[in-house]
Amino acid sequence: MNLKYRRLKGTRDILLEEAERWAWCEERWADVLARYGYGEIRTPVIEPTDLFFRSVGEGTDIVDKEMYTFQTKGGESLTLRPEMTASVVRAYLENGLTRQPGTLKFYYMAPMFRHDRPQAGRYRQFHQVGVEAIGSPSPVLDAEVIQTAMALFDAVDARGLGLLVNSIGCPSCKPAYVADLKIFLKGREEEIPEAFRGRIDANPLRLFDAKDDAVQALLREFRPITDSVCPACREHHAVLLQTLTDLKVPFEEDPTLVRGLDYYSRTTFEITALAERKQSSLAGGGRYDGLVEQCGGPPTPAVGFSIGIERTLLHLGDEPVDPQRSRQSVVDVYVACLGDEAQRFGLVAADLLRGFCRVEIDTSGRSAKAQAKSANQRLARILLTVGEAEIAADSLQLKILETGDQRPVARLDLLAAVKEVLEG
């Protein structure tokens, strides 16, 4: 069909059975997050562009080429959020929560926007469930946050996942490593494919993200970041790994896991689908101890993660939906109406039942046969039929679909009769 309007590239409609699957996951996630002490946060999808420039960082793909940014008539630059952490930190400061005692724990399930080329498990509007735990520097919190992520996957029966962890140091040790790395890379520049050379100056750590074999081989000649961090970071990382072991959370250390965002310090982690080759990264997170201060607040440690909902559902074996088959939702009573007046009569009757059970009234004007067929497709247990004769007698025909038995019921006795059938 020649459609007048189509959805924008990289966006999706979620409906019928698929919407039910989403709701199923969201209910379970909300339950898990409550158990881990998280409260919900909702923030605007739109923020000042500078918030993401300064937090996510220039030199990252997100900021350099993936943001939906536009100007208002007043000349202000706005951006559809490409991720949630910056917004949560902004809201944390703006709502005066810096003096709250203990650790503030927020979760969100919300849409994000990145202007990327769409492909399987990647959309321009996509959704994340994630958490931000603000206020504690403890590696034990890192472990709990990671455990929370694993629990979210477990809650929807996601299997076959692997956890990668790393430490990328803090402001007292990371800069020296980055500087050394840059010098090393400068000296070997000709061995690096052209596409990646720009990163040497802009953001040398991001070379670790490159899947290019030559780049990876070269980086293996340089000392891993994990060996170069300061004693405090080393201790932090050791406690995290020990705590994960105590919690029996299996993990794998990956010294090349630097992640695409600038604000991370110390712990970074990623959860991947082991079997899938493509879009295998289902979740990512880490510690961002400097971000709150950088956004104008007091020095405040924090840690968080986000899980890609579309990718998680894809991993669960989210089959494409057949709209024809998923049309029906289950109903207890189906009211077939033969004629316009019967529809009005039927709706009044349906209204008597709605406080007690699920009722669908058929106002299509189709044949009695077609309406009865729909009742069956909707898995109704009772078919009520209204025609001229019933209206005249102030009654309805009540048919028990399982047995085929049918009898007239006075309208005033309808609720009692329906109750008797459904409960018996």
Partner RNA sequence: GUGGCUGUAGCUCAGCUGGCAGAGCCCCUGGUUGUGGUCCAGGUGGUCGUGGGUUCGAAUCCCAUCAGCCACCCCA
- Considering only residues 248 to 307 of the shown chain, the ones binding RNA according to CB under 7 A are 259-261, 270, 277-284, 306-307
Q: Which is nearer to RNA, 115 or 234 (CB)?
A: 115
- Cβ-count burial of 325 within 10 angstroms (0-12 exposed, 13-18 middle, 19+ buried)? exposed
* Site for RNA contains 18 (CB under 7 A): no
The least CB distance from residue 223 to RNA, in Å, is: 21
* Site for RNA contains 389 (CB under 7 A): yes
Q: Which is nearer to RNA, 160 or 299 (CB)?
A: 160
Pair type for strands 104-113 and 39-40: parallel
Q: Which is nearer to RNA, 322 or 351 (CB)?
A: 322
| Listed residue (72, 120, 33) closest to 314, CA to CA | 120
Question: For RNA, which residue of 47, 254, 332, 390 counts as binding (CB under 7 A)?
Answer: 390
The least CB distance from residue 329 to RNA, in Å, is: 14
Binding pattern for the stretch 142-181 against RNA, x by CB under 7 A and - elsewhere: ----------------------------------------
Asked if 215 and 200 touch (Cβ cutoff 8 Å), the reply is no
**Joined tokens for residue 199:** 């990163």
**Residues 320 to 379: which contact RNA by CB under 7 A?**
322-324, 336, 338, 364, 366-370, 372-377
The least CB distance from residue 118 to RNA, in Å, is: 5
Find the helix packing angle between 139-155 and 16-35, rounded to 10°: 150
Map residue 230 onto helix, strand or coil. Answer: coil
Asked if 262 and 178 touch (Cβ cutoff 8 Å), the reply is no
The least CB distance from residue 379 to RNA, in Å, is: 9
Question: For RNA, which residue of 74, 231, 403, 423 counts as binding (CB under 7 A)?
Answer: 403
The least CB distance from residue 384 to RNA, in Å, is: 9
C-alpha span between 27 and 19 (Å, rounded): 12
Q: Which is nearer to RNA, 11 or 98 (CB)?
A: 11
Displacement of CA 53 from its chain's centroid (Å): 23
The residue type of 326 is S
The least CB distance from residue 230 to RNA, in Å, is: 24
Map residue 132 onto helix, strand or coil. Answer: strand
Pair type for strands 77-80 and 104-113: unpaired
C-alpha span between 137 and 303 (Å, rounded): 8
The least CB distance from residue 231 to RNA, in Å, is: 28
- Cβ-count burial of 366 within 10 angstroms (0-12 exposed, 13-18 middle, 19+ buried)? middle
The least CB distance from residue 115 to RNA, in Å, is: 9
Counting residues that bind RNA (by CB under 7 A) gives: 77
The least CB distance from residue 395 to RNA, in Å, is: 10
| Listed residue (358, 378, 377, 372) closest to 406, CA to CA | 372
Rg (CA), the chain: 29
Asked if 257 and 219 touch (Cβ cutoff 8 Å), the reply is no
**Residues 214 to 253: which contact RNA by CB under 7 A?**
none
Question: For RNA, which residue of 54, 81, 174, 206 counts as binding (CB under 7 A)?
Answer: 206
**Residues 78 to 137: which contact RNA by CB under 7 A?**
83, 114, 116-124, 126, 128
Q: Which is nearer to RNA, 270 or 332 (CB)?
A: 270
C-alpha span between 421 and 410 (Å, rounded): 15
Question: For RNA, which residue of 86, 91, 219, 386 counts as binding (CB under 7 A)?
Answer: 386
Q: Which is nearer to RNA, 72 or 324 (CB)?
A: 324
Q: Which is nearer to RNA, 105 or 259 (CB)?
A: 259
**DSSP letter string, 257-289:** ---S-TT--SEEEEEEESS-SSS-EEEEEEE-T
The residue type of 8 is L
The least CB distance from residue 280 to RNA, in Å, is: 7
* Site for RNA contains 197 (CB under 7 A): no
Asked if 114 and 67 touch (Cβ cutoff 8 Å), the reply is yes
